[in-house]
Amino acid sequence: MMKYLMLKHYRGAPASVNNVPMDQWTPAEITAHVQYMEDFAAKLVGTGEYVDHQALSPQGTFVRSDGEGRAPLTDGPFAETKDLIAGWMIIDVETYERALELAAELSEAPGAGGRPIREWLELRPFLSATCTMTE
């Protein structure tokens, strides 16, 4: 089994087909979207392919060390031009093709007007002890 991270973006990915920002959705549209995500996760629990998922707030800060004894440096809140992650899901599947299939299905979550978002998801494999950065 291979673990993959599916990243959902607020911005930074190519535009989705139904490209209406979530802050312009009705409460019912948000509820339907969240329900789709929960139902998708429950399906994957049933197939043994689910690992974890979380939604993320649009607020955030970059943090780094400025050296021993110095206060951490921060950069944020994020500028409108920066990539921004909306959430993530981790799956554990047999093949890359299965990961693609599940990412495409998740991309169909409903958005504005109840129509599928068809958003671009970033699919990234986890590194393991048996793989290298060049694989």
Question: DSSP letters of 12-79?
Answer: SSPPPSS---GGGS-HHHHHHHHHHHHHHHHHHHHHT-EEEEEE--S---EEE--STTSPPEEE-SPP
pLDDT at 131: 53
Average pLDDT over residues 93-102: 97
Q: Contact at 8 Å (CB) between 95 and 49?
A: no
Tell me which residue has tokens 């002890």. 129
Residues whose CB falls within 8 Å of the CB of residue 82, separated by 6 or more in sequence, listed in order? 11, 12
Distance of alpha carbon 74 from its chain centroid, rounded?
24
- From CA 77, how far away is CA 73, in angstroms rounded? 13
pLDDT digits (tens, 9 = 90+) for 10-63: 777 888 999 998 889 999 999 999 999 999 999 999 999 999 999 888 777 778
What pLDDT band is residue 135 in, cutting at 50, 70 and 90? very low
Average pLDDT over residues 86-93: 94
More confident residue, 19 or 75: 19
What pLDDT band is residue 86 in, cutting at 50, 70 and 90? confident
Tell me which residue has tokens 């996760």. 41
For the chain, give the mean pLDDT.
88
Q: What is the pTM of this model?
A: 0.81
pLDDT at 130: 54
Average pLDDT over residues 118-134: 78
pLDDT at 78: 58
